[in-house]
Amino acid sequence: MAGDASPAVAALSEAELLSRIFPRLAVDATHSAATLLGPGDDAAIISAPDARTVISIDTQVQDQDFRLAWPNGYRSTGFDVGWKAAAQNLSDINAMGARATSMVVSLTLPPDTPVTWVEDLADGLTAGIRGLGADGCSVAGGDLGRGREISVTVAVLGTLDGGPPVLRSGAQPGDVLALAGTAGQAAAGLALLESGVPMEQLDDGLRNLTERQRRPVPPLQAGPAARKAGATAMLDVSDGLLRDGRRMALASHVAMDLDPDRLGPLAAGVEPAARLLGRNAMEWVLSGGEDHGLLATFPPDIQLPPGFTAIGSIQALGIDEGPRVTIAGRAADTGGWDHFAD
Interaction residues for a copy of itself, span 152-191 (CB under 8 A): 153, 155-158, 160, 165, 167-169
CB of 243 to a copy of itself, least distance (A): 10
CB of 193 to a copy of itself, least distance (A): 19
DSSP letter at 234?
E
242 binds a copy of itself (CB under 8 A): no
Binders of a copy of itself in range 219-238 (CB under 8 A): 235-236
Q: Return left, alpha or beta for 186; rule: phi > 0 is left, psi -120 to 50 is alpha, else beta.
A: alpha
CB of 57 to a copy of itself, least distance (A): 4
Among 38, 82, 136, 141, binds a copy of itself (CB under 8 A): 141
Among 106, 172, 280, 326, binds a copy of itself (CB under 8 A): 106
270 binds a copy of itself (CB under 8 A): no
51 binds a copy of itself (CB under 8 A): yes
CA pair distance 130, 117, nearest whole angstrom? 20
Please tell me the number of Cα atoms within 13 Å of 27 on its side-chain side.
30
Binders of a copy of itself in range 61-80 (CB under 8 A): 61-65
Q: 106 - beta bridge partners? A: 143, 153
Length of the chain: 342
Phi, psi of 164 (to 5 degrees): -80, 150
Binding mask 19-48 for a copy of itself (x = CB under 8 A): -----------------xx--xxxxxxxxx
Among 21, 85, 87, 96, binds a copy of itself (CB under 8 A): 96
Burial class (CB in 10 A: 0-12, 13-18, 19+), 69: exposed
- Grouping H, G, I as helix, E, B as strand and the rest as coil, residue 322 is coil
Which of these segments, 95-103, 208-216, 301-309, 311-319, binds a copy of itself (CB under 8 A)? 95-103
CA pair distance 249, 169, nearest whole angstrom? 8
CB of 327 to a copy of itself, least distance (A): 22
Helices (H), 113-254: 115-131, 185-193, 204-214, 222-229, 241-252
The reply to whether 42 sits in an annotated binding site is yes
Which of these segments, 67-75, 176-184, 306-314, 332-340, binds a copy of itself (CB under 8 A)? 332-340
